[in-house]
Chains A and B, each alone.
Chain A
């Protein structure tokens, strides 16, 4: 193995450790830390890592977070249905709440006042649950507070969720009339 190749392999190992080991609340790593540890050629290293992850069904994604690039590893495509109940905090009502919040923001051009989003979620969740779900989405990076105080699509949503696909699936799976299915109501 040539010296350059050995050096690249070492950098790939370091990059994978940085990307996989969560040191903070949110997954992924900022550009500055990658530059500091890997060096200025970090993008080439990430590309090589991405090629190694591809057969495992994983991929390296870049997303803008607070105006700076952030990198994280995600599943390529959608997770298998068997995993559905076990995605950490993502319980069924969390998934549904996030779908509602994102659909509402999508329908309003990507931003909306917090009170309106909360009120929208209250159509299916009790008030306190709706509020706690939204707080969780903000903390996890799925939603962000804009400069004017509006809810906006968060950096993690941009990295993990295909909004066009979400909209298509919501529209195609919804019953044609409100009376043909009883939506879940808050207890």
Chain B
């Protein structure tokens, strides 16, 4: 609906300025103040006074926004906003990240250890030990130290063979099976066998018990299987 009075137009302009849709400098404050005075008339009633007060409040909000913008532009020392926006367009992601990195003084704090963090670190520490974190770098992944397939594949085969020998084509309890050795490593290896379809995993919907059994068939497509952390045999305080 089109606004008709100067009061409405001022209130609408203030809303647009607050929403960032219009610059506070696009509004002629002096001229609109004069127009508001004329619109009020010589004998205003109560409603006129209330509406006028709202418009004056909005106008002062526009003036306040002008002040904040001047202060912001002065402190950020940006001489050419157009050039800044165009420079972002022309830069790639890495250059932008570097520019921010060279302009930031990050805050420093200490994350407190909680029981959840402790449980997580206990569960994953055997895997963490196998990764040489000290050699982490921004080098491409191909140059990083990763386990070769010829070391990893036989381990998966061995755990499947062990499962076949133990289960003898029947189902066995998942938790007690992985507890027979390093539980995290065994769970990790089994997850690949399950994803590959060489081990079938079943979760009883009522008891929540997880069972596994070997399968001769491989899955046609790969699908990740999620096992809740609570199911891992981690001692909780």
Contacts and interface: CB of A to CB of B under 8 A. Distances in A.
Interface of A: 19-23, 27-28, 58-59, 72-79, 81, 84-85, 87, 90, 92-93, 95-96, 98-100, 102-104, 106-113, 116, 120, 123-124, 146-153, 156, 159-171, 173-178, 181-184
Interface of B: 15, 17-21, 23-24, 68-69, 72-73, 75-78, 80-112, 138
A109 B81 CA distance: 9
B109 A169 contact: no
A79 B104 contact: yes
A158 to B, nearest CB: 10
A174 B103 contact: no
Contacts of B19: 113, 148-150
Contact of B92 (A81, A156, A182): A182
B100 A98 contact: yes
B141 to A, nearest CB: 12
B108 A146 contact: no
A75 B103 contact: no
A104 B85 CA distance: 6
17 contacts: A20-B108, A22-B110, A27-B107, A76-B105, A93-B93, A95-B97, A95-B101, A109-B72, A150-B19, A152-B20, A159-B107, A161-B103, A169-B102, A174-B86, A174-B88, A174-B91, A176-B90
A187 B101 CA distance: 24
Contact of A96 (B21, B24, B100): B100
A78 B102 contact: yes
Nearest to A184: B93
Given A84-B138, A107-B81, A108-B20, A165 B103 contact: yes
B94 A150 contact: no
B92 A183 contact: yes
B110 A93 contact: no
A81 B90 CA distance: 23
Given A109-B73, A166-B100, A100 B88 contact: yes
Nearest to A23: B112
A156 B20 contact: no
A113 B18 CA distance: 9
B15 A148 contact: yes
A110 B68 contact: yes
A59 B108 CA distance: 9
Contacts of A87: 106
B135 to A, nearest CB: 13
Contacts of A90: 106
B106 A160 contact: yes
B82 A173 contact: no
Contacts of B69: 109-110
Contacts of B93: 92-93, 96, 124, 183-184
